[in-house]
Chain A
Amino acid sequence: MKREFQLASRRKFFSQTAGAMAILGAIALQRGQAAEKAATNPFAYDVSHLQKTDPKLITYEETARWKAPHAEAKRIAIGPEDTLYLCSGNYLTARNRSGDRGLEIALAEPSRCCAVEKDGTIYLGLRDHIEVFDAKGQRKATWDSPGKKSWITGMATTENEVYAADAGNRVILRYDKSGKLVRRIGEKDKERNIPGFIIPSPFFDVEVSRDGLLRVNNPGRHRMELYTADGDFEGSWGSASMGIKGFCGCCNPINLALLPDGRFVTCEKGLPRVKVYRTDGQFESVVAGVESFVANGKACGPSDCTAGGLDAAVDAQGRIYILDLVTGDVRVMKHRA
């Protein structure tokens, strides 16, 4: 059907024109404001170049990934036969080499960290005290709290000792196997040339190397420190830098693990990355860079910089397990051939 062209009435013409102009005006105003709001910031704090890792530096590849069994994952540790123990929520969960879920211990409060003996004895760090379980998950002992401000975030064991990193009191606690506190290590002492730990956020870790020396992170000083079992300060390494060779932000590294040959695996937050350092502290390579932990990088902010973070553990084959505290992912990283 052919439509005939008709002239609109003047009133209709005016009303339609006014309506169209109003709509166009509103769109223009909105676009103008949006453009103003999205204008380039001449004072931008640009760290985008630090959020990409040079591929040449990455020497590990991911071979497996699974989710932590419970929310609020905090720490991981390796036990006998490379069993992975995971502290998440009010649970400690074991996972064997093939990834099958094994022992699970339910707790009255969140599990913070753990260390496991060759015979399967588990030393579990809760916020302000340590509990001991046998390999079947039966509670054997509950040790006294070391102090009101205690916040235990890292543990390690040797044949005769248990070490606990107390972030609240900024000290490494050395216990014997019966739970008797034998020594406090790392407290500021000018006469013994001990600088003291600076722990701005509750990330404090301890490992014992095969040489018998303790490796402890000192995040506020952006370095790793070495102590004897008697508490003598033996040395330190590390530097503050956003660059790949240093430790970034206000307080890093947050956690550490040791490879079978004694090299260090360090974890950082803010710019979440896991790196390997030689025994003398020289930067060696990257296990996983910032681009691998996108959600984690966004989590650490002014409202709560305890929300982000990573943890690492190493098995007897040198595989590195990385726990993402934000997503709850556990990644298994193997050195590239």
Chain B
Amino acid sequence: MNEQPKSDRPTTRRTFLRNGARIAAMTGLGALAGVVANRSTAEGWVWQIDPQKCLRCGNCATKCVLEQSAVKCVHAFAMCGYCNLCTGYFEPEPNALTTAAENQLCPTGAIQRSFIEDPYYEYKIDEQLCIGCAKCVEGCSRFGNGSLFLQIRHDRCVHCNECAIARTCPGDAFRRVPASQPYLLKTTHAH
């Protein structure tokens, strides 16, 4: 069998540019096909925060494309200790354990404290006021049992293809979850 001798002729500029343009066009088409395929499979999937990975960095309050973040603090009442000294509600060194503004940790006063029975108090999140800054989450997580945590509220989220918060999340806590199960809730108590 005769082998064809390899051409020693150097590639011309025209051939180089033509080949380059072909490769670029193929790459573009491939990327487009990938995006289309991804969109069709991503339908029915939404962004959510894994509370176990959340580092309470504050990005959720500032990086969302919405003026007021779609991320809100939620409260797992089944886990809550209903503490008198709630470290998610009070400043680290409050003047007194009262609802006075200077004692509250939340920058927008979004946590409502109400007396249940001695010495238990209930803490509810006012989502209209909550900006998702995670300050309360950090207080609760560090000194309490972590019953306060962040979640993307899907009645607010505009479902960006690339979530602006996820892009900067230092804990890589954002992930896609099925739209049929859109929340990653804390349900069990550690003890």
A→B interface (CB under 8 Å)? 10-11, 33, 36-39, 41-47, 50, 195, 198, 200-202, 220-222, 240-243, 248-251, 270-271, 300-306
Q: Report which B residues bind A (CB closer than 8 A).
A: 11, 13, 16, 52, 56-59, 61-62, 81, 83-87, 92-94, 97, 105, 107, 118-119, 133-135, 138-146, 167-170, 190-191
Assess A250 versus B145: contact at CB under 8 Å? Given A33-B167, A240-B84. yes
Chain B residues positioned under 8 Å from A240 (CB to CB): 84-85, 97
Closest 9 CB pairs of A and B: A302-B146, A41-B58, A43-B133, A249-B143, A45-B138, A240-B85, A302-B141, A37-B170, A43-B58
Tally inter-chain residue pairs, CB-CB below 8 A.
107
Query: Once the chains bind, are B142 and A43 in contact (CB under 8 Å)?
Result: no
Distance, CA A45 to CA B92, complexed state (A): 8
Q: Does the CB pair B168–A47 fall under 8 Å?
A: no
> Which of B57, B97, B139 has the most chain A CB within a 10 Å cutoff?
B57
A33-B168, A251-B81 in contact; A304/B139 too (CB < 8 A)?
no
Interchain CB contact under 8 A, A270 and B142: yes
The complex places the Cα of A202 from the Cα of B191 at a distance, in Å, of 8
Kindly state the separation between the CA atoms of A11 and B166 in the bound complex, as whole angstroms.
40
Name the one of B97, B135, B143 contacting A270, with C-beta atoms under 8 angstroms: B143
| Residues of B contacting A202 in the complex (Cβ-Cβ under 8 angstroms) | 191
- Is the Cβ of B119 less than 8 Å from the Cβ of A50? no
Q: Is the interface of B mostly helix, strand, loop or mixed?
A: loop
CB B172 to nearest CB in A, in angstroms, measures: 10
Find chain B residues with CB under 8 A from A221 CB.
84, 119
Contact B146 A301 (CB under 8 A): yes
Q: Can you name 29 A-B pairs with beta carbons within 8 Å?
A: A37-B59, A37-B169, A39-B59, A43-B58, A43-B133, A44-B135, A44-B138, A45-B139, A195-B118, A200-B191, A201-B191, A202-B191, A221-B119, A240-B84, A240-B85, A240-B97, A241-B93, A242-B92, A242-B93, A249-B85, A249-B143, A249-B144, A250-B83, A250-B145, A251-B83, A270-B143, A301-B142, A303-B146, A305-B191
B190 touches A305 (CB 8 A): yes
Structural contact, B93 and A45, CB atoms closer than 8 A:
no
